[in-house]
Amino acid sequence: MRLVIAAQNISTFSEPWWKVFYDFSLLTKNIDTGLHNAMSPFWTTVTEMLIIGVLILLFYALVGLFLVYAERKVCAFMQNRLGPNRVGPFGIFQTIADLIKLLLVELIPIKKADKFLFNLAPFIVIIASFMAIAAIPFANGLHAIDLNIGVLYVIAVSAMGVIGVLLAGWSSNNKYSLIGAMRSGAQIVSYELSVGLALITVVILAGTMQFSEIVEAQRTGWFIFKGHIPAFIAFIIFLISSTAETNRGPFDLAEAESELTAGYHTEYSGIKFAFFFLAEYMNMFIVASIAATVFLGGWMPFHVGHWDGFNSVMDYIPPFIWYIGKTFFVIFLMMWFKWTFPRLRIDQLLTLEWKYLLPINLVNVLVMAFVVLMGWHF
């Protein structure tokens, strides 16, 4: 009954409906007040959390399905192939068919495996990526939780996935898995540093860790243009190290198909494997959207100085489209890397981090601080 009242409140909308696409806070505030009128603050919060949870879950599944399809199509076109083309027009339902297959596949129990940890591992991996998605601003006002330490939160939470990977490798009682997990541990721990430092470069420029303010600061120009040289270097480093952090090629040593068959998830089948698979793609989506938010202006449209006509045209494109476009641009770059380069060896991977990325990054932070201090940024 109360929900009906809330719904009635929401339906009385003061602005034209399409305004919502430019400022989602209109809708969210409306829902909030509607719910407040209908029920107590406690139940309001619970209902809101439920709604957001369901929405994120839906979004998660949809994006995961789409990314798998996109990856297969992108790699197919790069390899002179057609890619999936049988299920549905252009094979768009291929991933759904795969999902159904994965759901129906038998879950093979492993002898002498640590049953509890074995079953726990995929959940840890997927929860880590699930938590990170909460802090990402999708559009103007479409932001589950706007932490004032958003950048720090995302770094911290996304690093949690490595525990799942380590557990998976250790508990499956498989030598290949163990090697894969150990590689992954070494890799993620080192590349965390670069990811963090690359983001700190931008935090220096922005002067805040809150995602909403970082985006707002880019209203007059994206950070990659504002911070010119150091920001561009930071962007490149972020791309490399975040690719490594998500265990994607050319840094996919943890699963290294030609060396370790499938690395840490060799022994997983069915839906548990699907969790790892989905988490990999969602991690890619998360790092891509952070790159888009921090370097490419998030949902901010592309503005050029005083070209007011051009800027107003750009403003007509809804923020959500901008955000998705930028994110997929970064994702495309990462796919392009994966399908072009051969894999690194574990010692080269660590050499790249400690001998190349880290020194460059440290110098870059200093340069950025200097640029900000002297006011040389735009």
Partner 1 sequence: MEEQVKTTGINEQEEYVINMGPQHPSTHGVLRLVVSLKGEIVKNVEPHVGYIHRGIEKMCESITYPQIIHLTDRMDYLSAHINNEAVCLNVEKALEIEIPDRVKVIRTIMAELTRIQSHQLFWATFGMDLGGLTCFFYGLRDRERILDIWEETCGSRMIVSYSCPGGLMYDIHPNFQKRVKDFIKYFRKTLPEYDQLLTGNVIFRERTMGIGKLSLEDAVSFGVTGPVGRAAGFSCDVRKYEPYSAYDRVKFNEVLFTEGDTYHRYLVRMEEMRESMNIIDQLIDNIPEGQYAVKMKPVIKLPEGEYYQRVETARGELGVYIVSDGNKNPFRIKFRSPNFVNLAALNMMSKGFKIADLVAISGSLDLIIPDIDR
Partner 2 sequence: MRSIYNYLKEVLMGVWSLLKGMKVTGSYFFSPSKIVTQKYPNNRNKLVMFDRFKGEVIMPHNEKNEHKCTGCGICEINCPNGSIEIISKTIATEDGKKKRAIDKHIYRLSMCTFCALCVKSCPSNALAFSQEFEHAVFNRALLIKVLNKPGSQLMKGVE
Give the binding site for partner 1 (CB under 8 A).
Answer: 75, 78-81, 175-176, 179, 183, 249-250, 252-253, 256-261, 339-348
Identify what 343 binds: partner 1, partner 2, none; CB under 5 to 8 Å per kind.
Answer: partner 1
Residue 247 to residues 20, 343, 346: CA-CA distances in angstroms?
A: 37, 11, 12
- The residue among 312 and 348 lying less far from partner 1, judged by its C-beta, is 348
Q: Which of 25, 28, 33, 85 binds partner 2 (CB under 8 A)?
A: 85
Min CB(346)–partner 1 separation in Å: 6
Identify what 256 binds: partner 1, partner 2, none; CB under 5 to 8 Å per kind.
Answer: partner 1
- The residue among 312 and 340 lying less far from partner 2, judged by its C-beta, is 340
Binding mask 38-77 for partner 2 (x = CB under 8 A): ------------------------------------x--x
Q: Nearest-CA neighbor of 161 among 259, 286, 66?
A: 286
- What does 205-225 look like in DSSP terms, one character per residue? HHS---HHHHHHHTTTS-HHH
Min CB(201)–partner 2 separation in Å: 18
- The residue among 245 and 252 lying less far from partner 1, judged by its C-beta, is 252
- How many Å apart are CA 129 and CA 278, to the nearest integer? 10
- What does 284-344 look like in DSSP terms, one character per residue? HHHHHHHHHHHTS-TTPPP--TT-HHHHHHHHHS-HHHHHHHHHHHHHHHHHHHHTTSPPP
- How many Å apart are CA 314 and CA 312, to the nearest integer? 5
- How many Å apart are CA 100 and CA 34, to the nearest integer? 38
Identify what 249 binds: partner 1, partner 2, none; CB under 5 to 8 Å per kind.
Answer: partner 1
Identify what 77 binds: partner 1, partner 2, none; CB under 5 to 8 Å per kind.
Answer: partner 2
- What does 103-139 look like in DSSP terms, one character per residue? HHS--PPPTT--HHHHHHHHHHHHHHHHHHHTT---B
- The residue among 127 and 236 lying less far from partner 2, judged by its C-beta, is 236
- How many Å apart are CA 304 and CA 231, to the nearest integer? 18
- The residue among 52 and 350 lying less far from partner 1, judged by its C-beta, is 350
Q: Which of 29, 81, 219, 345 binds partner 2 (CB under 8 A)?
A: 81
Residue 343 to residues 38, 221, 259, 277: CA-CA distances in angstroms?
A: 57, 36, 10, 19
Binding mask 339-378 for partner 2 (x = CB under 8 A): xxx--------------x---x------------------
Identify what 336 binds: partner 2, partner 1, none; CB under 5 to 8 Å per kind.
Answer: partner 2
Min CB(116)–partner 1 separation in Å: 25
> What is the number of other CB atoms lying within 10 angstroms of the CB of residue 160?
15
- The residue among 43 and 336 lying less far from partner 2, judged by its C-beta, is 336
Residues 307-346 that bind partner 2 (CB under 8 A): 336-337, 339-341
Which amino acid does the sequence have at 360? I
Min CB(77)–partner 2 separation in Å: 5
Identify what 312 binds: partner 1, partner 2, none; CB under 5 to 8 Å per kind.
Answer: none
- The residue among 18 and 347 lying less far from partner 1, judged by its C-beta, is 347
> What is the number of other CB atoms lying within 10 angstroms of the CB of residue 173?
14
- How many Å apart are CA 365 and CA 204, to the nearest integer? 8
> What is the number of other CB atoms lying within 10 angstroms of the CB of residue 131?
17
Burial 85-107 (b: 16+ CB within 10 A, else e): eeeeeebebbbeebbeebeeeee
- The residue among 121 and 330 lying less far from partner 2, judged by its C-beta, is 330
* 87 binds partner 2 per the rule CB under 8 A: no
Chain contacts with partner 2 (rule: CB under 8 A): 74, 77-82, 85, 336-337, 339-341, 356, 360
